[in-house]
Amino acid sequence: MTTASVASLFTSLVMPEPEWPASPMPNVSADAVEESCDEENVRLMLRVKEGDVKAFERLVELHQGIMIGTAARMLGNLDDAHDIAQQVFIRVWKSAPRYEPSAKFTTWLFTIMRNLVFNETRRRSRRKEVPLENENDDDPPRQYTDLTAPAPDHLTQQSELETALDKAIAALPEKQRLAVVLRRHEDMPYEQICETLKMSLPAVKSLLFRARTELRKSLSSYLGEDAP
């Protein structure tokens, strides 16, 4: 990722989204594709409910990447994100006998992940841990960052930008942080964010507005703005 692309990411995070819907691509129905994917998830989960291990393995294969990526962005630690994802699917398996397809499967999955991540952030808070500090220099690189090899003369500035972005997001209250991650990184619709966070649509929009305001303050020097 070049310095310009990192700055572009900053701007996409802190600038308000347009109120009008994007024009749909011709002959493509995103809703139809999404509905088809959810039907497949539900079919697999109903098979898991009957004890089908292969169906469970398929669900893990389909969704473990997004669970790890979202948890990593929330917690700033890849090892912890893997642990959270593992716990998510353990809970999916254990709760399978009681499963009823009353909501979108991915909403249910993100709700489980949300609870586990919030529990982890509160545990860290009690232990006064700082999420983005790596205690072990041998830890693997954060795979959730979209990073390609930069030119040497951009390395220092790029590192500063990415660190500032990580810290700004990590400093947000947990609900604001999750809303930003779900909206900007996972491209989740507002309605699904509402279900995941158990909040109304106006409340979610207000949450994201406050999050963007805080990010603009934190990143003002990189955005060429004066902090208020």
Whether residue 50 has pLDDT greater than 80: yes
DSSP 8-state secondary structure symbol assigned to residue 99? -
pLDDT tens-digit map of 72-112: 988 888 999 999 999 999 999 999 999 998 888 999 999 99
Whether residue 144 has pLDDT greater than 50: no
Same fold, 34-131 and 154-228: no
Q: What is the pLDDT of residue 34?
A: 62
Q: What is the pLDDT of residue 32?
A: 58
Indicate the domain borders of the chain. Answer: 34-131, 154-228
pLDDT tens-digit map of 2-47: 444 444 555 555 555 544 444 444 454 555 556 678 889 999 999 9
Instruction: Tell me what the pLDDT averaged over the chain comes to.
Output: 77
Assess contact for 79 and 97: CB atoms under 8 A: no
Q: What is the mean pLDDT of residues 181-206?
A: 90
Nearest to residue 208, comparing CAs of 176, 186, 172?
176
Q: What is the mean pLDDT of residues 65-70?
A: 93
CATH 3.90.1420.10 fits 154-228, yes or no: no
Nearest to residue 179, comparing CAs of 103, 133, 117?
117
Taking the model in full, what pTM does it have? 0.66
Helix (H) or strand (E) run with residue 189 in it: none
HEC profile for 101-150?
CCCCHHHHHHHHHHHHHHHHHHHHHHCCCCCCCCCCCCCCCCCCCCCCCC
- State how far the Cα of 46 lies from the Cα of 51, in Å rounded to an integer: 9
HEC profile for 164-178?
HHHHHHHCCCHHHHH
Assess contact for 219 and 15: CB atoms under 8 A: no
Q: Which CATH architecture has domain 34-131?
A: Orthogonal Bundle (1.10)
